[in-house]
Amino acid sequence: MSQPSYTDYKRWSSRLSKPFAYLDLDLLEENMRKIREAGGGKRIRLASKSLRSVPVIRYILDSGDPFRGVMCYAAEEALFLAQRGLDDLLVAYPVWDAGAIRAVAAVVKKGASLTLMVDCPEHVDRIAAVAREEGTVLPVCLDMDLSVSFPGLHFGVHRSPLSSQEDFLRVADHIRQSEHVRLDGVMGYEAQVAGVGDRVPGQPLKNGLVRLLKRHSVRRTARLRKEWVSALRNRGHQLRFINGGGTGSLRETAMEETVTEVTVGSGFYAPLLFDHYRSFRYRPAAGFALAVTRKPKPGLYTCSGGGFVASGAAGPDKLPRPALPEGARLTPLEGAGEVQTPVRWEGSPELELGDPIFFRHAKAGELCEHFRELIVVSGRNVVDRFPTYRGEGRCFL
């Protein structure tokens, strides 16, 4: 498919109030096709944190296999999705709030499939205590730590403390001892493979090192997952799913026999940080448009809004970036401003007041926290408007 052109984007957006966020459905479809293909037939669970819009989640799930189930980022969010009719919900991060666990117990009692994450006996006891009071059994998922530590270098994220098989099995046995929780699945997120670019411009040496470490991690992850899961099975645990990976590791994680499903979120919108991987390239399906409201000097256009900086370790890679017109860029001293963003562009014909500049966000779902809806575009026409979580009055994390 050809690259979207500034002329096309300007044309379909001419009547829209700016700023707005958009979703290019044709590019989303192309990403869905590529993701399907990279998953090699393995089931793909959607990471809602990277989508944050119910109609988008539905759109992808409604396309059918291999897209099934949602990986949620908060209990309240999972409850919201359950209320909206979505099922097979896995909350991927521990929930401590007793009120939230109680609300989860209520929907599970009514038949919803909603699984909570645990990585220590305290998590298990907390969930079991509420489940006991509510007279139910809650399904839980064990989070295994897949990060790698070298002297002076931690490659991966700091999340689960379960970095040895012994500790992992101890928590699994603790789950079995409780009548009010049951082990439903296992999750392991190899963030150092899935979330770290290895073709980042301007750092060839670091890219080389990252690729080396990734190769090592992929092998180690596959071995650990296989060993730990078979140890669980040997102890009589029956598991509904073994979840792994993310957008950046889809192909590798899907090749593991032990894994029953891979999580993908960011690859659907394909934000800036996912441009820098050697093994795939998705299309920039989501972004936002700002209007030029001032022209401080030739070649400089100042837009209203734009300071949508991504989370994570602060750095220029977390800034949004102008995508269209091609060649437009932020100024290093001002970056993306709180209420105004200057953009340098030397092209012609020069932009007029009110003209749009189209940007991409560094991360996927965070874009939706700044806008109430996504303008949905297909075949160079606006075809729909999808509310974001924010547009539905929801703000979870």
Ligand X SMILES: Cc1ncc(COP(=O)(O)O)c(C=O)c1O
For 69, the 3-state DSSP assignment is: strand
Instruction: Identify which of residues 73 and 345 has a Cβ nearer to ligand X in the complex.
Output: 73
Q: First and final CA of the chain: distance in angstroms?
A: 36
Q: What's the DSSP call for residue 114?
A: E
* Token output for 153: 């270098």
Give the integer Cα–Cα distance in Å for 226 and 222.
6
Q: How far is the CB of 156 from ligand X (least distance, A)?
A: 12
Kindly state whether residue 194 participates in binding ligand X, applying the rule CB under 6 A. yes
The shares of helix, strand and coil residues in the chain, as percent rounded to the nearest 5, are 35, 25, 40
Instruction: Identify which of residues 190 and 355 has a Cβ nearer to ligand X in the complex.
Output: 190
Among 38, 44, 131, 364, binds ligand X (CB under 6 A): 364
Only one of the segments 6-14, 128-136, 187-195, 286-294 lies at the binding site for ligand X (rule: CB under 6 A); that segment is: 187-195
Among 263, 302, 341, 388, binds ligand X (CB under 6 A): 263
Kindly state whether residue 192 participates in binding ligand X, applying the rule CB under 6 A. no
Q: Is the preceding peptide bond at 320 cis, omega within 30 degrees of 0?
A: no
Overall size of the chain counted in residues = 397
Instruction: Identify which of residues 86 and 324 has a Cβ nearer to ligand X in the complex.
Output: 86
Q: Where in 120-149 is the site for ligand X (CB under 6 A)? A: none
Kindly state whether residue 61 participates in binding ligand X, applying the rule CB under 6 A. no
Among 12, 20, 189, 228, binds ligand X (CB under 6 A): 189
Instruction: Identify which of residues 229 and 351 has a Cβ nearer to ligand X in the complex.
Output: 229
Q: How far is the CB of 194 from ligand X (least distance, A)?
A: 6
* Nearest-CB residue for ligand X: 246
| Bridge partners (DSSP) listed for residue 251 | none
Query: x-or-dash pattern for ligand X, window 241-260, by CB under 6 A?
Result: -----xx-------------
Among 50, 178, 258, 341, binds ligand X (CB under 6 A): 50
Q: How far is the CB of 265 from ligand X (least distance, A)?
A: 3
Instruction: Identify which of residues 5 and 311 has a Cβ nearer to ligand X in the complex.
Output: 311
Give the integer Cα–Cα distance in Å for 286 and 74.
23
Give the integer Cα–Cα distance in Å for 148 and 163.
9
* Token output for 322: 């102008």
Instruction: Identify which of residues 265 and 391 has a Cβ nearer to ligand X in the complex.
Output: 265
Q: What's the DSSP call for residue 200?
A: -
Instruction: Identify which of residues 198 and 355 has a Cβ nearer to ligand X in the complex.
Output: 198
Kindly state whether residue 70 participates in binding ligand X, applying the rule CB under 6 A. no
Tell the burial category of 10 from Cβ atoms under 10 Å away from its Cβ (0-12, 13-18, 19+): middle
Q: Which among 103, 229, 91, 77 is positioned nearest to 168, based on CA atoms?
A: 229
Kindly state whether residue 266 participates in binding ligand X, applying the rule CB under 6 A. yes
Kindly state whether residue 92 participates in binding ligand X, applying the rule CB under 6 A. yes
Q: Which among 3, 2, 1, 27 is positioned nearest to 324, based on CA atoms?
A: 3
Contacts of 355 (CB under 8 A, 6+ apart): 10, 291, 292, 301
Instruction: Identify which of residues 40 and 204 has a Cβ nearer to ligand X in the complex.
Output: 40
Contacts with ligand X by CB under 6 A lie at 47, 50, 71, 92, 189, 194-195, 246-247, 263-267, 364
